Amino acid sequence: MAAPPASAGPALAIAVTEAGGLGLIGGRFSVDILRTQLQEASQTLKSSTNSLVADAALLPIGVGFLTFVLKLDDVLPLIEEFRPCVVWLFVARTLEGYVEWAEGVRRVSPGTKVWVQTGSVSAALHIAKTAKPDALCIQGADAGGHGFEKGAGIISLLPETADAFRNEGLSHIPLLAAGGIMDGRGVAAALALGAEGVVMGTRFLGSREVEIHPAYQAAVLEAQDGGQVTVRSHLFDELSGPNMWPEMYDGRSLAIQSHKDRVDGMELEEIQRLHNEAVKERDEGFKTGLHGRAAIWAGTGVGLVSGVEGAREIVERVRGESREALGRVAGL
Ligand SMILES: Cc1cc2nc3c(=O)[nH]c(=O)nc-3n(C[C@H](O)[C@H](O)[C@H](O)COP(=O)(O)O)c2cc1C
């Protein structure tokens, strides 16, 4: 079980790892910020009372990279220095981009595992054959945050990918499932589909350790019926200016006022002006009631986030629930 949102800093990553999952620091836009966060994580983990964590040969958290954002040459010294147990790669401009990253990471830190997240059967096959990742996370369309613009839910995407991997002799690469997994029932379902683990993002927006504005968290807690109150769109990447993301990616956010205005025909320039004004306010443009102007990245499972708990409690609860769900189904 892993927690990778960009809003995942050291505190969330450490709490998930200490609870027996794998915590990840989410994709940063600055190498300097990442360095500070890795230093913080490394110091905290060394003084952990859990000896498995404190004495680990590699840093027992993962680090996520949006590979179109940072330059590999700037990142490699950090990986060499901190040696995270997992480097998580997402959003390469082209699928070939993962090859260079995977080779670079393995060269400077041979023990580090390379995990790649992607969103289609064909992309998964291509990445498996070229970058040869240690694991692939198959991200379904329900996921919060960025993902393939064209997508399917993991209920069909995961088993089709697993079948394709078996047919092509790639079954040695473990598949993880992401997108809409919120509790133990979701974990049990993902395991039944053929996943060997799950990645959860939206659920941790309801954690104490997540790095989000309180108004963002309030909107997440209030949201119900995720298929109705979230939407995938390129608009969310255009709110503050030109869209920097590769074209095949969009993102799922709460269907905020900016989105409603666009659907109602407001010009993009006016939406951007209102957005850029709103983010200067105390609530940084995040509001409940879908009235906000800033994106609130969240998946269709958002209605299942109903309170704020420690990340450790979330991991332990989900683990217990999944055992229970699997037992219940086995007994049918
Ligand atoms: C707020 C938020 C931020 C995210 N940031 C990242 C990121 O920086 N890098 C990344 O690879 N995935 C990111 N994701 C997507 C996750 O990797 C994952 O696919 C997704 O959260 C799984 O679906 P779920 O949100 O329904 O649990 C983010 C998701 C959310 C909700």
* pLDDT, averaged across the chain: 95
Q: How far is the CA of 200 from the centre of ligand 1 (A)?
A: 8
What is the arrangement of strands in the sheet containing 145-148, beginning at the earlier edge strand? 145-148, 249-254, 230-233
In this prediction, residue 6 carries a pLDDT of 54
Same domain for 298 and 311, yes or no, is no
- pLDDT-derived band of residue 4, with 50, 70 and 90 as boundaries? very low
Taking only the tens place, the pLDDT of each residue in 171-189 is 999 999 999 999 999 999 9
| Residue 164 shares a structural domain with residue 221 | no
Q: Which atom of ligand 1 is nearest to the CA of 27?
A: 8
Higher pLDDT, 47 or 213: 213
The backbone region for 290, taken as left when phi is positive above 0, alpha when psi lies in -120 to 50, beta otherwise, is left
- Tell me which residue has its CA closest to atom 11 in ligand 1: 90
Identify the burial level of 112 via C-beta atoms within 10 angstroms of its C-beta, where 0-12 means exposed, 13-18 middle and 19 or more buried: buried
Residues 236 and 157 in one domain: no
> Are 322 and 196 members of one domain?
yes
**45-102 pLDDT tens trace:** 988 888 878 888 999 999 999 999 999 999 999 999 999 999 999 999 999 999 999 9
Rounded to the nearest angstrom, the distance between the alpha carbon of 321 and the centre of ligand 1 is 22
Both 167 and 284 in one domain: the answer is no
Domain co-membership, 52 together with 185: yes
The verdict on 39 and 166 lying in the same domain is: yes
- 36's CB contacts (< 8 A; 6+ apart) are none
Q: Average of pLDDT values for 125-150?
A: 98
Confidence category of residue 222, pLDDT binned at 50, 70, 90: very high
Residue 244 DSSP symbol:
-
| One domain for residues 126 and 61 | yes
Pocket of ligand 1 contains residue 298 by CB under 6 Å: yes
Residue 2 pLDDT > 80 = no
Q: Which of 65, 66, 70, 90 to mutate to test the pocket of ligand 1 (most atoms within 8 A of CB)?
A: 90
Task: Name the more confident of 3 and 119.
Answer: 119
Ligand 1 binding pocket includes 145 (Cβ within 6 Å): yes
Q: What percent of the chain has pLDDT over 70?
A: 98
Note whether 234 and 186 are same-domain residues: no
- 265 with 158, same domain: the answer is no
Residue 112 belongs to domain with CATH number: 3.20.20.70
Shared domain check, 172 and 271: no
> Of 203, 297, 305, which is best to mutate to test ligand 1, by the most ligand atoms within 8 angstroms of its C-beta?
297
Strands 22-25 and 230-233: unpaired
Percentages (nearest 5) of helix, strand, coil residues in the chain: 45, 15, 40
- Residues 7-37 pLDDT 10s: 899 999 999 999 999 999 999 899 999 999 9
Number of domains in the chain: 2
pLDDT for the residue 7: 84
Residues 35, 56: Cα–Cα separation, whole Å:
20
Please give the pLDDT value at position 51.
83
State mean pLDDT over 204-214.
97
Percentage above 90 pLDDT, the chain = 92
CA of 145 from ligand 1 middle (Å) equals 5
- Residue 200 DSSP symbol: -
DSSP state of 116: E
Same domain, 50 and 176: yes
Range of the domain at 246: 214-303
Write the CB contacts of 155 (distance below 8 Å, at least 6 apart in sequence): 140, 189, 193
Atom 18, ligand 1: residue with shortest CA distance? 201
